[in-house]
A and B are shown apart, each in its own frame.
Chain A
Amino acid sequence: MNAKQLIEDNNRKRELLTTENEEYYGDLLLYIRLKLTLSEQQSEEVLMELLDHLLDAQEAGKTAREIFGDDPKGFADAIIEHLPKEEKRKVIPFIGGIIADIIGWILVIRGGLLFILSQFTEVEVKSTVHPISTIGIALVLASFVLFTIFYIFKIIDRSLFTEKPNAKKDSIKAGLVGALGMAVVLLVVKFLPEIGPAFVFPWWVSLIVGGILLFSMYLRKKRKEE
């Protein structure tokens, strides 16, 4: 069974857990899944084994705490220690796929917007691109988004296995990081001059290139599923 099927199976089977066992196992599951460097396939296989074991124990009237122990974090860390890391040859295409998807969507929306705007405004719509500045802004934005997502993952990670996590404080922290980060990004965008060569990138080229990129990503996904 591949990781996707295991996740679907896990979601279905988890419904059979009691609320108490679901809380325990749910935290365990999230804690392991948030360790993004681990092999997804191996992690899901171990999670499924644990779930099957827990379901059997539940039928015998036992709780997760009774079979996995009172220290769920320690138990999870022990499992993580034995899990292999995700292979680099799988990580690179995964991240590359996300980046290609985002660029594809930006190009398609840009093309559509430029076309619509040119129909409604008499002033010529600016379709010149400064690649160096645009890539610079894209990198700053991508770093900001990645940093915020990892920060949120850290917050979730820290609040797992605690009886009363401080939800309000965590939300304020996440909100502040998001707002301050965005302020920094906007300042960079404001003061970054348009440097380097520029070329005209009309709406139809943008639409075609974006469309090809998205279609090839779709084909890649389909081929992977087969």
Chain B
Amino acid sequence: MLSTKSEEFIENLRMYLMMSGKNEREIDELLEELKDHLVEVEKKGKSIEDIIDLTPEQYMATLKKEMKTDYKHIVKLLPIYFLGVIAYFLMGPAIRGEFELNIIQVIGFPIIAGFGLVMYVSFLQQAGKKQYSKKKFFFGWMIASAIVTASAVLLLVGSNLVIDPFYIGGWKTDVIIIVICCSIFIYTAIKSKAWFPIWLPAILFISDVFSRFTSWSIETILMISIASYILMFVFMLLHLWRLERKNNGVA
């Protein structure tokens, strides 16, 4: 049995190597070997620091250099990421019946999506390499997400102030955009074998649905949205707890 500290080191190493684009099967094989080795080492009363001459950070960087990058896998994942991010930002305006496009948005959205990708990947790499605590990881992730969202909202709203749209959608366009976005969310859910790509947008866009289809006051819509976010947070905690138990072999 491994100590929790070593288990965490292995999970951080997995995240770091995955975010560095290494092959998943090779990572699993390497980590299995390391795990066996660590079990033996811990039986002798030693820890991870005693068997690597380097700091954990340097050790991870060395492994990254030694392993080949799986470019094929990266090329497969990139379109899903870009489609997903763009769907998130187009769905809201389409539901509200405000879908329109200007040239700054067309150029800016892929740039923001690319910037977001670089930021998320480097954050996850750092989190793995420097073995962030759960609290630090959570807040770091929140800040990264807030920066990407704020940039996209700024682009969406700000660009309308400086340039006229070249395309203004009607209800038909709204329906087409909503159907395409929903299909992207479902496709992402199937690909990642998880439910969150479906329920996350469902909760996020709840306020847009009410603001278009009801005459409820802004306070009512706000209260419903906040209640949904609180529940989303609790469900996420439940999901993470289950995942941790599953990794420990309980569930």
Contact = CB atoms under 8 A, between A and B. Distances in A.
B154 interface: no
A23 interface: yes
Interface residues of B, number: 33
A129 interface: yes
A84 interface: no
A174 B220 contact: no
A109 interface: yes
Contacts of A73: none
Given A167-B246, A167-B251, A19 B2 contact: yes
A141 B223 contact: yes
B235 to A, nearest CB: 7
B3 A18 contact: yes
A51 to B, nearest CB: 12
A110 B218 contact: yes
Nearest to A148: B231
Contacts of B68: none
Contact of B3 (A17, A102, A105, A159): A17
Interface string A143-184: 011001100100110010001110100010011001000100
A209 to B, nearest CB: 13
Given A113-B218, A126-B218, A134-B217, A152 B234 contact: yes
Contacts of B242: 167, 171
B8 A19 contact: no
Interface string A127-143: 01110001001100110
A197 B242 CA distance: 48
Contacts of A129: 217, 219
Q: Is the interface of A mostly helix, strand, loop or mixed?
A: helix
A114 B218 CA distance: 8
A166 B4 CA distance: 24
Contact of A16 (B1, B5, B250): B5
Given A22-B4, A134-B217, A167-B242, A145 B231 contact: yes
A110 B4 contact: no
A33 interface: no
A113 B219 CA distance: 10
A54 B234 CA distance: 30
Contacts of A17: 3-4
Contacts of A105: 226
B4 A126 contact: no
A148 B233 CA distance: 12
Contact of A152 (B1, B217, B238): B238
A152 B241 CA distance: 12
Interface in B1-25: 1-5, 7-8
A165 B251 contact: yes
A134 B218 contact: no
B227 A141 contact: yes
B220 A164 contact: no
Contact of A137 (B8, B220, B246): B220
B218 A16 contact: no
Given A105-B226, A141-B227, A148-B231, A19 B248 contact: yes
In the complex, the 6 A-B pairs of residues with the closest C-beta atoms, listed nearest first = A18-B1, A15-B5, A141-B227, A15-B4, A20-B1, A19-B1
Given A106-B223, A106-B226, A145-B230, 7 more contacts: A19-B4, A22-B4, A22-B248, A134-B219, A152-B238, A171-B242, A189-B224
